[in-house]
Amino acid sequence: MNINLSEEAGVRYLHFGSSWIQGAMRIARPFALELDYTREMMVPLLLHGDDWPRKVLQVGLGAASITKFLYRCRPQAKLTVIEIEPQVEAVARQYFKLPDDPARIDIRYGDGADFMVESKQRYDLILIDGFDAEARTGRLDTVPFYLDCRARLADGGLLCVNLLSRRKDFGKSVKRIAEAFDGHAIAFPSCESGNAIAIASTTVSPASTLDELKAAAKHLKQESGLNLLPTLARLAESRHLAGGVLRL
């Protein structure tokens, strides 16, 4: 795999041999989430308390943005990352300040789909953000894979998936996730970048009102600097917050 770096206006970008951006870091704030979609993948934090999650599984390391944020923001969390390309870890350590803390960050090389089949562990939060150089997901966007993700979730656990489409058409992907999770799935309106974030639950999650979500977002902003209030404003305009209540 060809791995390239670029820098512009104080931001360092990761590329896999193409113009597609696979990750980014603002050099002055290495633990902040620079890209919109990485920020939106933290929405599950609004649905639980500060002591959640304790066990996280992430497929696709990229520039380690999400890994670094959770490492700092959720010090109780142990993070397992599945990365198919060993070079990506080396680049993340050298250029994107991935912490060297094997007690909390366990990086394993392999195919995320194979890991889901073979693993016997359960996780509170599973994050899927795996693409090749042409922004293709392969097996990571199939009903069997999402079913395997469901089997790896602990009680009350959440799956969060970054969906990327050149056509900004995520309907088929969302249907696959919903099929695997018996309809307990939602997808946010897509970001300007063309990404959309889907969240799924193994069970009917307790309903959260918009006011509760806003209060959680303000708390998260205060403790981490991450501002999810704009995301909630977009979500409030979607059908997922009908009546001011979010249900999974």
Segment among 45-49, 143-147, 233-237 with least mean pLDDT: 233-237
Report the pLDDT averaged over residues 217-229: 96
With a cut of 60, say whether residue 134 has pLDDT above it. no
127 CB-near residues (< 8 Å, 6+ apart): 41, 56, 57, 58, 59, 66, 160, 161, 162
The model carries a pTM of 0.94
Segment among 42-51, 148-157, 188-197, 200-209 with least mean pLDDT: 188-197
Report the pLDDT averaged over residues 133-162: 88
Label residues 132-169 b or e (16+ Cβ within 10 Å = b).
beeeebeebbeeebbebbbebbbeebbbbbbbbbeeee
> Measured between alpha carbons, how far is 34 from 137 in angstroms, rounded to an integer?
22
Segment among 141-145, 179-183, 231-235 with least mean pLDDT: 231-235
Q: Which of 129, 141, 148, 169 is catalytic?
A: 129
Report the pLDDT averaged over residues 223-242: 87
Report the pLDDT averaged over residues 88-94: 97
> Which of 204, 121, 117, 116 is CA-nearest to residue 161?
116
| pLDDT band (50, 70, 90) for residue 135 | low
With a cut of 80, say whether residue 197 has pLDDT above it. yes
pLDDT tens sequence across 158-190: 999 998 765 556 888 899 999 999 999 998 866
Half-sphere exposure of 137 (CA within 13 A, CB side): 20
Report the pLDDT averaged over residues 201-229: 91
Question: Looking at the DSSP assignment, which residues form a beta bridge with residue 113?
Answer: none
Give the CA radius of gyration of the chain: 17
**Catalytic residue check, 114:** no
**pLDDT higher at 193 or 122:** 122
Q: What pLDDT is attached to residue 85?
A: 92
With a cut of 60, say whether residue 132 has pLDDT above it. no
Segment among 33-42, 90-99, 203-212 with least mean pLDDT: 203-212
With a cut of 80, say whether residue 241 has pLDDT above it. no
Q: What pLDDT is attached to residue 170?
A: 80
Task: Please name each of the domains of the chain with its CATH number.
Answer: 33-246 (3.40.50.150)
